[in-house]
Amino acid sequence: MFINREISWLEFNQRVLNQAQRAELPLLERLKFLAISASNLDEFFQVRVGGLMLLQQTGKFKPDLTGLSPSEQLERIRERAGAMINEQYKLLQTVLRPLMDDAGLSPQKLDELTEAQYAELEEYFLNNIAPILTPLAMEVEQPPMLPNLSLILGVELLPEEAQETRFVAITLPEVLPRRVPAAGLGRNGYVMLEDVVSTFCPLLFPGEKVLSTTPFRVTRNGDIAVAEEEGGDFAREMESVLVARKFSDCVRLELPTGTPDAIGERIAGIVGADAASTYLVPGLLRLVDFGQMAFEPGNDQHKVQAWTPCWPAGVDASLSMFENIAQGDILIHNPYESYEPVVKFIEEAAADPDVIAIKQVLYRTAENSRFIAALCRAAETGKQVTVLVELKARFDELHNLAQAEKLQRSGVQVVYGVKGFKTHAKILLIVRRENGSLRRYCHIGTGNYNEKTARIYSDLSLLTCNEHLGADASQFFNSITGLTRLMRFRRIYPAPATMKSRLLELIEAETQRALQGERALIRAKMNSLNDVEMMEALERAAEAGVRIQLNVRGICCWAPTSEKAQACTRITSIVDRYLEHARLFHFHNGGTPLVYMASADWMSRNLDRRVELLVPIEEPQLAHRIIEILDACFKDNTQASDMGPDGHYHPADTGRKKAYAMQAHLQRDARRRARSQESASMRVLEPHKPRK
């Protein structure tokens, strides 16, 4: 049975929201998950709803896997999203807000301030807020475009001796804090920015009467693709996409519940929103801002206890990364283990006089990225540095353009990717001169080269100087920079050339074993599943009796159809403090396990329209470790939700009486590994004492 992709995604976001419902979690952790669910909806409306609205406007009947037209999908989305929004605000107003009141973390109303506090706030407005505000008259021949996802205050004005009102929009800039500190209210005391501007905005309009103020928010279509013209300037074309996104159609208008109809219609007319795209929100707009409270200093009693990343057990901090890797392949599981060795790897390479070439793919990088800084230093010292910067990384396009320009100014050879495909592979190749010959060192990962997200995304890194993987890495970079076919690899399976065919081959092999009465097992961990060929292959495998265990964090468009297939299949999703991001695959293979890690999900876009990498983990100890991670996925009975035959999810029941949380287990396991290495190091350092 196929499941609609959009509804499946909304069900995933429901699982995120369910974390905010958990009474045993600290207050700020619950607020964090509430904010994440709101942020997820923002992106969903920009991309998925935006794309469907474009299809609807063109009149194209492009049914999804389940046969729904764009209009039918939009109708179901709006019903489901509307219910989710109501649930978000019910949780905030009836559960979290009273807890915030008790903790002294709720916003204050201006009418609750003393006269002195009110006067200080007015002075703060005049000195720190008003100079930044720009009121925009909207009822003019060419009204200005209002920004995407910003909080905007609509102001209805009546000029002196005038009969008709006029409407002005004031965008509340991102540089201003949403929670404005209020003098005399204590360390946590604050008032909301929109309340401050609403109260004191009459000071901006001398000679006019402010009749009403209404906050609102516009979401614009972000599903605008670059036109990759032959011989065109791709960077310039991407810049045009970013401009177009600023002026794209409104796909959602958010207004507070209780907004007078006349004002709501006025705003809708200005931004171009119809009734179906207008959402009345029963509370404060832009819930995503409240998530910041979980990351700010203080209030530790309302947060989960922090988990400190352990130094990876396979890395000796006293040695260089080249010495470490030369001793054998290294697997790092962040954020349980520190990502620092990966950063150290590129930084050492930049400074090492024996390194002659560095090649890397960058998809999403951090602000002030140490990877970018190291690559620049390497190029400036004469090393040959080639970097593929993927400009089509959605919503990171502007950042990636700026990073590409910075790299080019330092002498890095920058490539913008393969025409018609996103390059989503995570790979770094370093060529080093050793003992009169060249040796290749590689990093291949499931996550981005981003020090910030490496602290909150669960990913794996393989560091290796394996000859076959090094040769494949060279072939990969030659293919994507020289635009040759992704062929003749020794170990690696790249998409779109051979990854899908290899995965289908592995599934079919397990299917044949099951048909012959042998034990057959497929286990996979990924973010999303929607590729039709992969789902049909899984259905056939389950029908044949293959035991299938899928840990799919987000979208899953397959639910087994028959009772036999259902009995053989378990599909689970885990939402916890870290975002599950690694892609791991295990095939029983007659008792000789085949284990892989990848940059790709089992989605059509990844397997058919992106440049990705599937890498075998052949070192037995590392393969066993990945199998143990997969074991933990399917033992979880606290954070896991299992998909039922109808596509809906319910709390996982693994049959275990004792509570088991995968992420907590993996954190303990990382500590155990680190302590074990420390003990081993101490035993080596201790002098031998002769027995008496």
Tell me what pLDDT residue 231 has. Answer: 43
pLDDT at 528: 97
Q: How far is CA 31 from the centre of its chain?
A: 18
Both tokens of residue 280? 């009345």
* Predicted confidence (pLDDT) at residue 323 exceeds the cutoff of 80: yes
Q: How many beta carbons lie within 10 A of that of residue 370, not counting itself?
A: 17
Classify strands 579-580 and 457-464 as parallel, antiparallel or unpaired: parallel
Say what the pLDDT of residue 233 is: 55
pLDDT tier at 654, thresholds 50, 70, 90: confident
Q: Is the pLDDT of residue 230 over 50?
A: no
- Determine the straight-line distance between the first and last CA of the chain, rounded to whole angstroms: 73
Q: Indicate whether 260 pLDDT > 70.
A: yes
- SS3 state of residue 362: strand
Euclidean distance between CA atoms 641 and 555, whole angstroms: 13
Q: Determine the number of helices (DSSP H) and then strands (DSSP E) in the chain.
A: 20, 26
Helix axes 397-409 and 234-246, enclosed angle (nearest 10): 150
Q: In 528-639, where do the E strands start and end?
A: 547-552, 569-574, 579-580, 583-587, 594-598, 610-616
pLDDT of 579 reads 97
CA diameter of the chain: 107
- So what's the pLDDT on residue 217? 97
Residues 6+ apart with CB under 8 A from 66: 2, 3, 4
Domains, the chain, ordered by start: 5-302 (3.30.1840.10), 321-488 (3.30.870.10), 495-675 (3.30.870.10)
In this prediction, residues 306-330 reach a mean pLDDT of: 96
Return all residues near 280 (Cβ < 8 A) that are at least 6 apart: 255, 256, 257, 259
Q: Residue type for 29, please? A: E
- Reported residue count of the chain is 692
For the chain, percent of residues with pLDDT exceeding 70: 94
Instruction: Give the pLDDT mean for 222-243.
Output: 57
Q: What is the DSSP letter of 412?
A: -
Q: How confident is the model at residue 289 (pLDDT cuts 50, 70, 90)?
A: very high
More confident residue, 362 or 417: 362
Q: Calculate the CA dihedral of residues 647, 649, 654, 657 and round it to 10 degrees.
A: -160
Of 284-298, 527-541, 569-583, the range with the lowest mean pLDDT is: 284-298
Q: What is the mean pLDDT of residues 263-285?
A: 94
Higher-pLDDT residue of 246 and 98 is 98
Instruction: Output the pLDDT for position 395.
Output: 77
Using CA atoms, how far apart are residues 11 and 636, in angstroms rounded to an integer?
Answer: 19
Residue 518 has pLDDT above 50, yes or no: yes
Q: What is the mean pLDDT of the chain?
A: 92
Residue range 213-232: mean pLDDT, rounded? 74
The answer to whether 13 touches 40, Cβ cutoff 8 Å, is yes
Give the whole-angstrom CA distance, residue 685 versus residue 679.
10
Choice among 207-211, 236-240, 607-611, 685-689 with the minimum mean pLDDT: 685-689
Positions marked active-site: 424
521 near 588, Cβ under 8 Å?
yes
State the DSSP string of 32-46.
HHHHHHHHHHHHHII
Q: Give the per-residue pLDDT at 648.
A: 92
d(CA 81, CA 6): 10
- Please report which helix (H) or strand (E) contains residue 673, including its range: helix 662-685
What residue ranges in 185-302 does DSSP mark as E strands? 190-192, 208-220, 250-256, 278-281
Q: Are 599 and 541 in contact (CB under 8 A)?
A: no
Q: How confident is the model at residue 379 (pLDDT cuts 50, 70, 90)?
A: very high
Question: What is the reported pLDDT for 238?
Answer: 52
pLDDT band at 56 (very low <50, low <70, confident <90, very high): confident
- Model confidence band, residue 184 (pLDDT cutoffs 50, 70, 90): low
For residue 65, name the pLDDT band (cuts at 50, 70, 90).
confident
Nearest Cα neighbor of 298 from 187, 183, 144 is 187
pLDDT, position 685: 45
> Using one digit for the tens of pLDDT, what is the confidence trace for 583-637?
999 999 999 999 999 999 999 999 999 999 999 999 999 999 999 999 999 999 9
pLDDT of residue 237: 56
Alpha carbon distance 439, 431 (integer Å): 6
User: Tokens 């287990």 identify what position?
Assistant: 665
pLDDT higher than threshold 70 for residue 336: yes
Quote the pLDDT of residue 243. 59
